[in-house]
Amino acid sequence: MYLRAADKRAKSIARSLSDLAEQEASSRAEAEILAARRHKLDELRERGVDPFPYSFTDPEPEPIADVRAAYDELPAGEETDERRRIAGRLASRREQGGMAFLDLVDRSGRIQLQAKSDVLSQEQFSLISELVDLGDLLGIDGRVFVSQRGELTIQIEQVTLLAKALRPPPDKRHGLQDPETKYRRREVDLLSNEESRAVFIARSHIIAAFRRELNADGFLEVETPTLQTLYGGAAAEPFVTHHNALDRTLYLRIAPELYLKRCLVGGLERVYEIGKNFRNEGLSPKHQPEFTSIEWYEAYAEYHKAADRTEHLVRAAAEAAGYDYTAEGAIRFDLPWRRVTFVEVVEEATGIDLLAHLGYAVGDGQFEIVDANGDPTGELVDQDEFLRRAVKAKPKVAKEIDNLDQLTWPQLADELLGTFVEPALIQPTFILDHPVELSPLAKRHRTIDGLTERWEAYANGQEIANAFSELNDPDEQRRRFEAQTRYSEGGDAEAQPYDEAFVQALEQGMPPAGGVGVGIDRLVIMLTRSKTIRDVILFPALREN
């Protein structure tokens, strides 16, 4: 009787081949593969088997990992009378005449199945051997035993087709490898690569850890606009769009910061938001146009407290991801993070004291140059030129800096940090007290002129977090915005726009606060040991193909 089925199959394949070849298949080989599965779909329906039933929940199947855990002590050859119900995708098949071994994969793991012709009805056995393909979704009721080779196995007593796969899965050994296809057809990557599934499971656990820890400390999760009438809270170029009914320009947010501070003004006191930000900039292994951040704001705290909380949260995230601190090159999020000031760390790396000019001030923003012996030369320059001279005195440093003569003091300070310090910051490090010009939303440093109470946290050579003692003096904030407006008029596309609604909110009275933003994607890259941001974002932005 199987011969008759094979006969019918040959005819049916011939029939559907011509259809498929015209439609979607790009080659005869592909058309044959698709036609064979289409035929089996027809044959299933002819036999009265629903290839797409509604559910498999009575009773619920167990996660495969739970079944494995329950029997991990059984010795090879052990038989049991225990029944288990599982469900998943058929990943592999090893046939041996009247018997076959199959591998079933679900979200939690993989397990071996056994189908025997003398255990199953003829109908059920032929379903498995003739009409079920790799990639199909199956529900299994069966009996637990351990094979002679010691593999925990479910002997199938009842198989239920849960969904027919009409396209073949990738290579069963290598999975889907082509990076382009992995990103464009992530579902195929996920179903065929356990490592990819593991990354996104870890990502979910990382975000859940932030939520859990912040909620436990009395923080409220809030949602603020992603479509904003004015963008702010970071230095970046926005996406611009238009709302028809309101007939106005809207921007996709580049950061939630300003709205979250307005929540502080409103008395919510401890708030956080996890969500997407959008920046209209280039793509790279570290950049995507939409990315996920978490920002939290804590009233009555300042930036040292914010650093303590960041250490705690990131450590909790690492644990949630199952990060292995004993592995080669591990980043020790579990140890206290190094804390060093911007000025100290730049001097350590380059020998240049960013604040040296302060000792030679002669008033009116002028500073007197001294010679190599420290003797005054009488030459007066501004702060920018003073630092440029210091850099030029170190040729090894100067040759790494492009357009040295065009750079202002804060730009040059940032450049020195980025070039000589950041790449070497593998272990978690807080860099504290940034120049005020680089930090328009941070409070001035309580003791050092020209600096702010800000830190950026680095690990693996990348920035992972940014925080301030939040500026809450509305008049000072207004002056900072005005300075940004001047940079903007000077051609800086990323200078922050003046936000009067935000300043008025500060006039209402914002409590002193510490605020932190963490780039979730980059943290996930590190905690899952991924190579690029595309590997931790399910559906990354790509060119149209």
**Spatial distance between the Cα atoms of 5 and 44, rounded to a whole number of angstroms:** 11
Residues numbered 165-194 forming contacts with RNA, rule: CB under 7 A: 168, 170-181, 183
Q: Which two tokens stand for residue 339?
A: 């804390």
Binder to RNA among 281, 347, 384, 476 (CB under 7 A)? 281
**Spatial distance between the Cα atoms of 22 and 39, rounded to a whole number of angstroms:** 17
Min dist CB 21 to RNA, Å, is 9
The most distant pair of C-alpha atoms in the chain lies apart, rounded to whole Å, by 106
Residue 27 engages RNA in binding (rule: CB under 7 A): yes
Residues numbered 218-237 forming contacts with RNA, rule: CB under 7 A: 234-236
SS3 category, 333: coil
Residues numbered 459-518 forming contacts with RNA, rule: CB under 7 A: 462-464, 466, 494
Q: Which two tokens stand for residue 407?
A: 């750079």
Residue 42 engages RNA in binding (rule: CB under 7 A): no
Binder to RNA among 127, 467, 522, 530 (CB under 7 A)? 522
Please work out the total of residues on this chain that contact RNA, with binding judged by CB under 7 A: 82
Q: Which two tokens stand for residue 236?
A: 């970046």
Min dist CB 454 to RNA, Å, is 12
Min dist CB 39 to RNA, Å, is 8
Min dist CB 103 to RNA, Å, is 7
Q: Which two tokens stand for residue 378?
A: 């009488």
Cβ within 8 Å of residue 188, ≥6 positions away: 169, 170, 176, 181, 182
What phi, psi does 465 have (nearest 5°)? -155, 160
User: Which of 235, 345 has the CB closer to RNA?
Assistant: 235
Segment interacting with RNA (CB under 7 A) among 51-59, 261-269, 279-287, 471-479: 279-287
**Spatial distance between the Cα atoms of 246 and 224, rounded to a whole number of angstroms:** 19
User: Which of 150, 497 has the CB closer to RNA?
Assistant: 150
Binder to RNA among 116, 143, 186, 212 (CB under 7 A)? 116
Residue 33 engages RNA in binding (rule: CB under 7 A): yes
Min dist CB 387 to RNA, Å, is 17
Min dist CB 249 to RNA, Å, is 21
Residue 126 engages RNA in binding (rule: CB under 7 A): no
User: Which of 179, 225 has the CB closer to RNA?
Assistant: 179
User: Which of 453, 521 has the CB closer to RNA?
Assistant: 521
User: Which of 139, 517 has the CB closer to RNA?
Assistant: 517
Residue 9 engages RNA in binding (rule: CB under 7 A): yes
Closest CA to 35 of 21, 50, 51: 21
Residue 533 engages RNA in binding (rule: CB under 7 A): yes
Residues numbered 389-418 forming contacts with RNA, rule: CB under 7 A: 402
What phi, psi does 480 have (nearest 5°)? -65, -45
Asked if 412 contacts 387 with a C-beta cutoff of 8 angstroms, the reply is yes
User: Which of 415, 473 has the CB closer to RNA?
Assistant: 415
Site string for RNA, 238-277 (x = CB under 7 A): ----------------------------------------
Task: List the beta strands (DSSP E) in 343-393.
Answer: 361-363, 366-370, 376-381
Residues numbered 317-346 forming contacts with RNA, rule: CB under 7 A: none
Task: List the beta strands (DSSP E) in 210-247.
Answer: 220-221, 227-228, 240-243
User: Which of 20, 352 has the CB closer to RNA?
Assistant: 20
List the strands of the sheet with 361-363, edge to edge.
Answer: 361-363, 366-370, 376-381
245: alpha, beta or left? (left if phi > 0; alpha if psi -120 to 50): alpha
SS3 category, 511: coil
**Spatial distance between the Cα atoms of 468 and 519, rounded to a whole number of angstroms:** 15
Q: Which two tokens stand for residue 436?
A: 């005020």
Residue 6 engages RNA in binding (rule: CB under 7 A): yes
